[in-house]
Every structure is written in structure tokens, then in C-alpha cells.
Amino acid sequence: MGNKSLSEPWRIFGYIILVVLAILIVFDATVWIVYKIQWNKYVANSREAREAGYPNGYNICSRQGSIVIDGKEYILFEAHRKAILDGDYYENLIVSVDDEYEDKYPDRKGNLEIFAKKLGYVDDSNQERYTILDIYQIDLCRQRVSGDWCWRALLVTIIAAPILLVSGLVWLIYFIIFKRRIKTWQT
């Protein structure tokens, strides 16, 4: 009967599977590399702050504006993290408006990381407790930002992997059946 080849739609289907798989692998690898880079930056910033005498790190902070307590003006930050295992974490952090510190993202309101040391606590007239900080540096909360991309990559992979697996198996079964047909036609 002559030399047969895979029909054009099945060949295109196989190429589409390979292209989507390659895109998924590149996406996952890129997200992982970016996460590792961001993690290394966080570790370097944390180490630098600890060596300068600022042992505490507060992540997922948001800038809330200024507040006056006992006649003194402070900048208010809220640190809040939802946790499944050990409960929610919530803390009001304040720093004097007169303090000098490095703020890498002065216009950003949320997803901030604060490297500081605790100076003490103060209560306002409503008996709400605030932690007074001496801030070394305010930076982007890198684990939160790159971690969000890790969750997206995981979700895309969980959705795409079974689809690619089933599509690949269908293509492989068609390929095996097609090769058997060619062998039977040639004999």
C-alpha cells in the first residue's frame, strides 16, 4: 500500500501537546527561579538587619497612616497573617515620625516587610496595645509576592498536568494503533 504517515490532525495534536508541555515546564521553572531569587534577597536583608542589631522581622505589613498616642505622633503599621495551624497573627506596630530608616517602597501600602527591634509597648485611651519599633528597613514582603506566584503555578500545573497526561495517552494510543496498522498493511 505504500509508506503511510500519521494523519495531519494527529501530528498537529502531538505538536500542540509538546508545545503546551514545554510552556508549562518553562513557566514552572521561571516561577521557581524567581522565588529562589526573592528568597535569597530576603535572607540577605534579614541577615544584614540582624548584624546591624535589628533582630525582628515583621512580614505582611500594611502602612495605615499616622496616629497620635499620648501627644506623640507615630506612623502605624498593621502586621496581619492568616494561619491555618497556629491561628491568626495580628499586631499593631508604630514608629515615631521623627525616626530615620531606610524605606525602599515609600509609596507602597501593603505587602511590606519590616526589619526592626522592639522598644516596648504603649496603650492608647481605648486600651489597644501598640508595639513601638526602631525600624532598620522597610522592604517588599518578598515571600508573599513570589509565594503568590508559586500558588498560581501550582494551580496551573494541577489543572494542566492531567489534561496533558490524558491528551498524551490518547495520542500515544493512536500512534501505537497507527503503527500496528502500517505493519499489517506492509505484510
Distance, CA of 75 to CA of 61 (rounded, Å): 13
Q: Give Cβ neighbours of residue 52 (< 8 Å, ≥ 6 apart).
A: 136
Q: Which of 27-31, 53-57, 85-89, 93-97 has the lowest mean pLDDT?
A: 85-89
Residue 95's beta-bridge partner residues?
75
Q: How far is the CA of 157 from the CAs of 13, 28, 30, 170, in angstroms?
A: 20, 8, 13, 19
Amino acid at 157: T
Q: pLDDT by residue (tens digit) across 42-92?
A: 899 999 999 999 998 888 788 898 999 888 999 999 987 766 666 677 888
Distance, CA of 180 to CA of 187 (rounded, Å): 11
Cell numbers for 47, please give them: 541577615
Mean pLDDT of the chain: 85
Ordered by start, the domain boundaries in the chain are 8-186
- Phi/psi region, residue 4 (left: phi>0; alpha: psi -120 to 50; beta: rest), is beta
C-alpha closest to that of 162 among 17, 3, 8, 15: 17
Residue 139 has pLDDT above 50, yes or no: yes
Q: What is the pLDDT of residue 80?
A: 78
Mean pLDDT of 169-180: 82
Q: pLDDT by residue (tens digit) across 99-133?
A: 899 888 888 888 888 999 999 999 888 888 899 99
Distance, CA of 173 to CA of 16 (rounded, Å): 16
Mean pLDDT of 6-31: 86
pTM for the whole structure: 0.70
Q: DSSP 3-state assignment of 175?
A: helix
Distance, CA of 156 to CA of 31 (rounded, Å): 12
Mean pLDDT of 26-52: 91
Amino acid at 99: D
Q: What is the pLDDT of residue 110?
A: 83
Rg, C-alpha atoms of the chain: 28
